[in-house]
């Protein structure tokens, strides 16, 4: 099967700042998640994939055609940017209708009805959009993105600002769209979000493609990552001496403030062994916390690999 979107050696820099550096990948039908911390270059990459921004180097093609300065391609592409601004003075239906007309939709009223029904906003379609909640605006924007029935959808942080109920609804919609054979690329900085939705994950860190593939491969790489765990207890030196003997522990040291810092590549085992050890040694644990569990540190680890 040939790639729907092909990104080849793409770089983008702004002055001396490199936002995206020599990224190459193919996108196939189904849901592809573009994952990375804030500022990683996801939006810049997506903008180049939609033709909204030019690549400083490299090329992006869709269905074998260049995306830049190729308006005809937008008949087959729907884009929902990260910006949530809408024409607040317009009714939701008016907005979707205008987007449909701009995209040359033939049976406009039927297409508008279908798109609005799909996002379940028929009741609110005649209200001005500046009266909508953030989640409603996102869904109406999705309706406008879908009104011309595009084969490819590029969605930048589509779940931003949605409450948990809306997230569930949105995810169901995206899975339904992917099930219809569409190619969907969505970006997120939330690991679990992408895990639940995407068949393939592209991990972007510092403008580079850090990893790509199925989510299991990414997860496996994450699970091998060494974690620093900070332990507060009533006998730090005794705990340090005993915890270093555990198989799940790779290194230990005691901070000047009395905290025991444990380095482990097997946190799951450490979670079981540490309380047992404390109990048998009569050491009272006051606090156990991961030191580097931020998404940035996870991504940083993967980049170093």
Partner 1 sequence: MGSVYRLTLRQLTGKWRLAIMTVLAALPVTIAMIMLASSDAPSVGEFEAAILSAMLSGSIAPLVVLAIAAAAFGNEIEDKTLANLTLAPIPRWQIALPKLLATITIAAPFIAASAFATSHVAFLGDARATMAVTVSALVGVALYASAFVWLGLVSAQAIGIGLLYIVLWEGFFSGFVSGVRLLSIRHYAIALMHGLDDRRFAASHHLSFGIAIALSGLVFGGFLLLSVRRLRRMDVP
Q: Which residues bind partner 1 (CB under 8 A)?
A: 47, 50, 52-54, 69, 71-75, 77, 79, 81, 83, 85-87, 89-90, 98-99, 101-104, 144
* Minimum gap (Å) between residue 170 Cβ and partner 1: 20
Q: Which residue has the tokens 């705990």?
A: 239
CB of 303 to partner 1, least distance (A): 27
* Residue 202 Cβ vs partner 1, minimum distance, rounded to whole Å: 22
Residue 90: CB atoms within 10 A of its CB come to 16
Residue with Cβ nearer partner 1 (73 or 119): 73
Q: Collect all residues with Cβ–Cβ distance below 8 Å to 151 and sequence separation of at least 6.
A: 4, 76, 77, 182, 183
Question: Phi-psi region for residue 302, left (φ > 0), alpha (ψ -120 to 50) or beta?
Answer: alpha
Q: Closest distance between partner 1 and the C-beta of residue 255, in Å?
A: 46
Q: What angle do CA 3, 56, 156 make, to 5 degrees?
A: 55
- Residue among 127 and 230 whose Cβ is closer to partner 1: 127
Q: Which is nearer to partner 1, 63 or 242 (CB)?
A: 63
Nearer of residues 33 and 150 to partner 1, judged by Cβ: 150
Of residues 169, 148, 39, the one with CA closest to residue 97: 148
How long a stretch of residues is the chain? 305
Nearer to partner 1, 71 or 256 (CB): 71
Report residue 209 as tokens: 């493609």
Rounded to a whole number of angstroms, the minimum distance from the CB of residue 30 to partner 1 is: 22
Q: Which is nearer to partner 1, 69 or 192 (CB)?
A: 69
| C-alpha distance across the termini of the chain, in Å | 30
Exposed/middle/buried for residue 281 (C-beta within 10 Å: 0-12, 13-18, 19+): middle
CB of 125 to partner 1, least distance (A): 18
């Amino acid at each position: 099967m040939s790639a729907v979107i092909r990104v080849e050696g793409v770089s983008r820099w702004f002055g001396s700042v490199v936002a995206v550096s020599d990224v190459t990948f193919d996108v196939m039908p189904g849901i592809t998640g573009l994952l990375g911390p804030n500022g990683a270059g996801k939006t810049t990459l997506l903008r180049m994939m939609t033709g909204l921004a030019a690549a400083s180097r490299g090329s992006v093609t869709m269905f074998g055609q260049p995306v830049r300065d190729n308006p005809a391609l937008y008949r087959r592409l729907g884009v929902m940017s990260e910006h949530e601004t809408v024409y607040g003075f317009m009714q939701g239906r008016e907005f979707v209708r205008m987007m449909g007309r701009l995209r040359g939709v033939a049976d406009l009223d039927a297409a508008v009805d279908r798109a609005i029904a799909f996002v379940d906003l028929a009741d609110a379609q005649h209200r001005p959009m500046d009266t909508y909640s953030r989640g409603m605006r996102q869904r109406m924007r999705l309706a406008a993105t879908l009104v011309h029935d595009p084969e490819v959808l590029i969605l930048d942080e589509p779940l931003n600002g949605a409450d948990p109920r809306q997230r569930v609804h949105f995810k169901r919609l995206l899975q339904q769209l992917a099930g219809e054979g569409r190619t969907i690329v969505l970006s997120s900085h939330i690991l679990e979000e992408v895990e639940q939705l995407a068949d393939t994950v592209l991990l972007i860190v510092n403008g580079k493609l850090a990893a790509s593939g199925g989510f299991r491969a990414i997860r496996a790489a994450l699970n091998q990552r060494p974690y620093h765990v900070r332990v507060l207890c009533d006998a730090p030196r005794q705990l340090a001496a005993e915890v270093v003997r555990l198989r799940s522990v790779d290194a230990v040291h005691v901070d000047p403030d009395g905290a025991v810092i444990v380095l482990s590549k097997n946190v799951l085992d450490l979670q079981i062994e540490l309380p047992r050890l404390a109990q048998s040694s009569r050491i009272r644990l006051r606090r156990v916390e991961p030191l580097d569990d931020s998404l940035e540190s996870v991504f940083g680890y993967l980049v170093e690999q």
